[in-house]
């Protein structure tokens, strides 16, 4: 390890160590650099290198840099962005906030939410044999094209509201309105990786006032008031079951 890297790693360990120290975690050594295993992983035997855990997830070394496997892959020592997600997926929160970390985003009132009180709200038109309501699992499932995983004629779409940055869906079917044109705009979904707006994986989870542990999801630079918000990342978790979504979301 070069001197510079050692210094950077050491400063980073000191800066990040308070929580680990309070939790009574013991320090380990990576070459000559001390670190807390809850906050860093030590890679390599000959020239050991520390990579930090970011939002509870490990990062990995690639030619002397640390990268997130939710956005990049390391091929022959070079970093490349992941390819785009192709199939249906659910949205999982990565966060330092333990209440939110690992939660799956759910749609109700045509808005995406996370938190204890989040739920998926659906409507189904039972018309066998084409639409059999009991076959839908009613989970919040998205497609990378900007569609929700629905069967309602006319479809249903996810988009970011340009007025306040809120992640939401159109009304189902013919009621979609002009918002339909915003479907999936400015969002890149990396394969089993980040759900990223304008190249950034960061979103805000903001408490809905008077609704307990219910958080809406917003693009930071489109929202004015960041009080009651925590920074999160959203990651695509692929799903393969055909009826995991809903007939439509309400
Ligand atoms: C999904 O929602 C529909 C409509 O409310 C309902 O008929 C169906 O039983 C639900 N599916 C499951 C697995 O609960
Ligand atoms: C969305 O992307 C377009 C094209 O890159 C850009 O001009 C526009 O400002 C973006 N919209 C927002 C709300 O960031």
219: domain CATH number?
2.80.10
pLDDT of 165 higher than 50 = yes
136 shares its domain with 226: yes
At 24 the pLDDT is: 81
Q: Which atom of ligand 1 is nearest to the CA of 126?
A: 7
pLDDT-derived band of residue 151, with 50, 70 and 90 as boundaries?
A: very high
Whether the CB of 136 sits within 6 Å of ligand 1: yes
Q: How far is the CA of 186 from the centre of ligand 2 (A)?
A: 6
Q: Which residue of 138, 141, 247 sits with most ligand 1 atoms within 8 Å of its CB, as the best mutation to test the pocket?
A: 138
pLDDT-derived band of residue 10, with 50, 70 and 90 as boundaries?
A: very low
> What average pLDDT score do residues 153-170 get?
97
58 within some domain: yes
**Domain final position from 45, 65, 81:** 81
pLDDT of 12 higher than 60 = no
Q: Which atom of ligand 2 is nearest to the CA of 160?
A: 13
Closest of 36, 69, 49, 96 to residue 232, by C-alpha: 96
pLDDT of 1 higher than 50 = no
pLDDT-derived band of residue 18, with 50, 70 and 90 as boundaries?
A: low
pLDDT of 2 higher than 70 = no
The answer, as to whether pTM is greater than 0.85, is yes
246 within some domain: no
**Domain final position from 33, 56, 81:** 81
At 9 the pLDDT is: 42
191 shares its domain with 77: no
Q: Which domain holds residue 131?
A: 89-238
Helices (H) and strands (E) in the chain, counts: 1, 21
38 shares its domain with 148: no
Q: Tell me how far apart the alpha carbons of residues 59 and 184 are, in angstroms, rounded to a whole number.
A: 28
CA torsion through residues 112, 114, 118, 122, sign? positive
Ligand nearest to the Cα of 241, by number: 1
| Residue 240, CA atoms < 13 Å, CB-side half-sphere | 1
- How distant, in Å, are the alpha carbons of 154, 169, 194, 233 from that of 113? 24, 12, 17, 14
DSSP annotation of 200 reads B
245 within some domain: no
191 shares its domain with 75: no
Q: How far is the CA of 57 from the centre of ligand 1 (A)?
A: 34
Strands 57-58 and 49-54 turn out to be: antiparallel
User: Can you say how many angstroms the Cα of residue 24 is from the centroid of all Cα atoms in its chain?
Assistant: 30
Q: Tell me how far apart the alpha carbons of residues 123 and 246 are, in angstroms, rounded to a whole number.
A: 8
Total domains, the chain: 2
> What average pLDDT score do residues 190-201 get?
95
Ligand nearest to the Cα of 136, by number: 1
**Domain final position from 60, 81, 102:** 81
At 14 the pLDDT is: 44
At 45 the pLDDT is: 78
Whether the CB of 186 sits within 6 Å of ligand 2: yes
Closest of 11, 192, 12, 205 to residue 93, by C-alpha: 205
249 within some domain: no
Strand, helix or coil for residue 18: helix
> What average pLDDT score do residues 201-211 get?
95
């Amino acid at each position: 390890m070069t001197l510079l890297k050692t210094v950077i790693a050491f400063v980073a360990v000191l800066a990040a160590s308070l929580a680990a120290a309070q939790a009574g975690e013991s320090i380990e050594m990576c070459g000559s650099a001390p670190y807390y295993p809850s906050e860093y992983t030590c890679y390599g035997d000959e020239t050991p290198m520390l990579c930090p855990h970011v939002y509870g997830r490990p990062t990995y070394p690639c030619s002397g840099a640390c990268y997130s496997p939710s956005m990049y892959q390391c091929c022959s020592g070079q970093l490349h962005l992941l390819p785009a997600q192709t199939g249906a997926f659910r949205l999982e929160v990565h966060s330092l906030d333990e209440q939110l970390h690992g939660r799956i985003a759910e749609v109700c009132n045509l808005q995406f939410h996370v938190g204890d009180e989040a739920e998926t709200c659906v409507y189904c038109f039972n018309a066998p044999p084409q639409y059999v309501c009991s076959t839908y699992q009613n989970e919040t499932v998205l497609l990378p094209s900007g569609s929700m995983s629905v069967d309602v004629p006319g479809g249903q779409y996810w988009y970011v509201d340009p007025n306040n940055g809120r992640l939401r869906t159109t009304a189902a079917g013919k009621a979609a309105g002009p918002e339909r044109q915003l479907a999936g705009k400015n969002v890149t979904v990396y394969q089993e990786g980040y759900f990223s707006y304008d190249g950034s994986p960061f979103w805000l989870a903001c408490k809905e006032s008077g609704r307990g542990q219910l958080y809406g999801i917003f693009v930071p630079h489109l929202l004015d008031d960041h009080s009651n918000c925590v920074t999160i990342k959203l990651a695509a978790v692929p799903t393969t079951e055909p009826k995991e979504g809903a007939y439509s979301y309400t």
